[in-house]
Amino acid sequence: MTNSILVLITGANGQLGQALQAEAAGFPSLTLISSARSEVDICDTASIGQAIQRYQPQVIINCAAYTAVDKAEAEPAQAYRINRDGVANLTAQAALHNIVLLHISTDYVFAGDQAHPYTELDTPAPKSVYGASKLAGEQALLQSGCKGAIIRTSWLYSEFGSNFVKTMLRLAQGGKPLKVVADQYGSPTYARDLAIAILQMAEATGQPLFSPPQLWHYANNGITSWYDFAGATFHTAGLECTVEPIQTSAYPTAASRPAFSALASGKIKLHFNTAVPAWRHSLKLALSRMLNQAAN
């Protein structure tokens, strides 16, 4: 298609990258070019430049990130190298070649000390190295002068990659009671819903909304705890599994998590007419796909 918008996806082998590819057929105006780290390393400026010369994209969707939340506490240099410096490398090349950069960020940039969903106007205050490194990446894009957008999301899951829902389904097969944290609250987000929102943005990158770049939030509608999310997963999947609620203090981790990190998605819904399904609705759809996948 001669008028197709060429979109380069970095980190395409991850959960969101695979979700973007799964939803690509619904966007005939876009041509997606998927690249794994072995082909495009965002920490290597030459690697980025070569990919741009090869594919000539109008849009880059950056799904590449350091996401090992607890491990980041022990290796902050690596987290910042990917989540801050890698994004800075992308912004420099995007600005040079007039490319729109859509960058994915996280609810972990917030402290989690408020009781209502975070909007794009709320002040970040990360409590972990991971969250701080992702915030540094956001700042690199906002200060770069390139066209783009930062899309924050939360509690991502899907039939792809590793995630909470797949872990719960696997643990349920063991037949033992599970203990799940009940005092952390957020908005579970189906990666394919997020992918649709991002691809809608990619279609609209000719609009002035991307210059200068802005912050956007996308998470499925509704708020729950990890404990209730686990329970809903088992109930929807028709699995019998005893789940015991525990406090965060009973499950110590290297990195501190926000106690409340639900995101308000009103801005993206307003400007892009983006669907924001209820998390329970999307969980049902995701589990149906997972179970069909397992059966085939």
- Sole residue written with tokens 């009671």: 177
Active site positions, annotated: 130
Q: Phi, psi at residue 76, to the nearest 5°?
A: -60, -35
Q: How far is the C-alpha of 47 from the C-alpha of 45, rounded, in Å?
A: 5
CA-nearest of 79, 16, 18, 4 to 43 is 79
Asked if the peptide bond before residue 245 counts as cis, ω within 30 degrees of 0, the response is no
Confirm if 155 and 219 have CB atoms less than 8 A apart: yes
